[in-house]
């Protein structure tokens, strides 16, 4: 029996039997000595007043905070003449590199994975063009749709406005430290070919006069299954916790856009630190459970199934280098690191805030005292007195 099937839903992916464009390989290794000064910093200036523009998640456009001018991302790229797209990928992959802020002239120290950052002196958002060009230029990006104000409101709700968090956790500095970052991901198109041989049984019970019979039939059942999973994600950042990134899924791929550097303006961004081949085993592991579920579904109706031979061959068809938006706050408390993370597209929040057990105890004591007072008041009203 041969079964040609589409796969069940992949994690944060979609299914199809169609192919896509060839995947991206790992760029040639280019080393660079620490402290090398390079001149590939991009500022996105307002054409009206000259102020720095940043990507506005609410408007879906570049926005000037001074004169409120808005400009489409593609329009800005055309205005700049595609400066970022034409540069060769020469970012350092071993040491910290020194860039110059075009606004104030300050040195910008960038680790090898940094693709966009902010000047620590003047606060200008800058894109490091050589880190997002050539082989390290992302193919696709999901822009931020959750604004900073929305993320701050969600952060306050997440930590219950500080009612049970440690003193100082809800300080203005803490709230303002919320950071929007584009996290590098690989998306995989995977094909799974499955060959299964099993011995199955069906059981029938019937009666004849005073006798009850149980009849067991045995079957040799084989399966040839072809499954396709499209755009299975795996984060390519060493700094990000894989479990957190998985919990932030799903992202809605209908909003994937062709990468343009202005999307990074005003945010932080990283380049990938793992190649698509290095993360391929993780992507395969994310779909293996779905494949097993599908195999079991093809043997539905049997009383028992005993596999004699099961071979699952998962192969990469294509891979895509993309950037996904995430809002984050990291907080160290009592020798433990707490992380607030929000999907910058859907608003999904993961993480647990630190809890002040002193505040919790005080809260319960207040509730208990209030309850006691209410009960005594009721008793007094009924003529029982306070004692």
Q: What is the residue extent of each domain of the chain?
A: 357-387
Q: b/e per residue, 58-72, with b = 16+ CB within 10 A? A: eebbbbbeeeebebe
Percent of the chain past pLDDT 90, that is, above it, reads: 40
Percent of the chain past pLDDT 70, that is, above it, reads: 70
Token code pair at residue 298 = 């093809």
Reading across the β-sheet that carries 54-56, which strands appear in turn? 54-56, 61-63, 70-71
Band of pLDDT at residue 41, cut at 50, 70 and 90:
confident
Pick the closest to residue 267 from 137, 387, 148 (CA basis): 148
Pick the closest to residue 229 from 298, 356, 314, 342 (CA basis): 314
Please enumerate in sequence order all residues whose Cβ is within 8 A of that of 331, keeping only pairs 6 or more positions apart, or say none: 169, 174, 337, 338, 339, 340, 354
> Phi first, then psi: what are they for 247, rounded to 5°?
-70, -25
Q: Alpha-carbon distance 373 to 366, whole Å?
A: 11
Q: Alpha-carbon distance 238 to 136, whole Å?
A: 16
Q: Alpha-carbon distance 187 to 235, whole Å?
A: 9
Please say if the pLDDT value at position 170 is more than 70: no
Burial of residue 200 (number of CB atoms within 10 Å: 0-12, 13-18, 19+) = middle
Q: Are 382 and 372 in contact (CB under 8 A)?
A: no
Please say if the pLDDT value at position 117 is more than 70: yes
Q: Alpha-carbon distance 368 to 374, whole Å?
A: 10
Band of pLDDT at residue 109, cut at 50, 70 and 90:
confident
Band of pLDDT at residue 373, cut at 50, 70 and 90:
low
Please say if the pLDDT value at position 372 is more than 90: no
Q: Alpha-carbon distance 237 to 245, whole Å?
A: 10
Instruction: Quick: pLDDT tens for 65-88.
Output: 877 788 888 887 776 664 444 333
> Phi first, then psi: what are they for 281, rounded to 5°?
-60, -35
Average pLDDT, the chain: 77
The more confidently predicted of residues 351 and 286 is: 286
Please enumerate in sequence order all residues whose Cβ is within 8 A of that of 18, keeping only pairs 6 or more positions apart, or say none: 228, 230
pLDDT of residue 128: 87
Please say if the pLDDT value at position 19 is more than 60: no
Neighbour count for residue 93 (Cβ, 10 Å): 17
> Phi first, then psi: what are they for 343, rounded to 5°?
-65, 115
Neighbour count for residue 82 (Cβ, 10 Å): 12
Highest mean pLDDT (candidates 130-134, 262-266, 322-326):
322-326
């Amino acid at each position: 029996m041969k079964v040609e099937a589409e796969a069940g839903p992949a994690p944060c992916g979609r299914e199809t039997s169609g192919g896509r464009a060839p995947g991206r390989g790992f760029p040639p290794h280019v080393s660079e000595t620490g402290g090398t000064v390079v001149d590939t910093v991009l500022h996105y200036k307002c054409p009206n007043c000259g102020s720095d523009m940043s990507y506005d998640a609410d408007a879906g456009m570049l926005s000037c905070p001074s004169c409120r001018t808005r400009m489409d991302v593609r329009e800005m790229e055309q205005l700049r003449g595609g400066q970022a797209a034409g540069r060769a990928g020469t970012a350092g992959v071993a040491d910290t590199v020194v860039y110059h802020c075009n606004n104030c002239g300050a040195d910008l120290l960038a680790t090898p994975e940094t693709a966009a950052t902010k000047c620590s002196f003047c606060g200008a958002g800058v894109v490091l063009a050589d880190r997002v060009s050539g082989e390290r230029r992302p193919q696709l990006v999901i822009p931020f749709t959750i604004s900073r104000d929305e993320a701050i409101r969600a952060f306050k709700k997440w930590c219950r406005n500080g009612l049970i968090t440690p003193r100082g956790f809800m300080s203005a500095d803490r709230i303002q430290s919320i950071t929007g970052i584009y996290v590098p991901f690989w998306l995989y198109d995977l094909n799974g070919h499955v060959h299964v041989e099993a011995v199955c049984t069906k059981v029938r019970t019937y009666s004849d006069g005073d006798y009850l019979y149980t009849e067991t039939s045995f079957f040799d059942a084989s399966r040839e299954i072809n499954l396709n999973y499209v755009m299975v994600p795996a984060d390519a950042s060493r700094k990000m916790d894989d479990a957190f990134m998985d919990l932030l899924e799903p992202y809605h791929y209908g909003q994937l856009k062709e990468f343009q550097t202005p999307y990074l303006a005003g945010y932080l961004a990283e380049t990938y630190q793992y190649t698509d081949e290095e993360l391929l085993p993780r992507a395969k592991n994310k779909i293996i459970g779905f494949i097993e579920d599908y195999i079991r579904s093809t043997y539905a109706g049997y009383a028992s199934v005993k596999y004699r031979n099961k071979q699952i061959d998962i192969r990469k068809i294509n891979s895509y280098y993309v950037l996904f938006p995430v809002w984050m706050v990291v907080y160290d408390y009592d020798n433990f690191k707490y992380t607030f993370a929000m999907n910058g597209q859907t608003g999904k929040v993961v993480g647990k805030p630190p809890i002040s057990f002193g505040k919790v105890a005080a809260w319960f004591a207040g509730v208990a005292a209030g309850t006691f007072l209410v009960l005594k008041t009721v008793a007094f009203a009924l003529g029982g007195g306070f004692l």
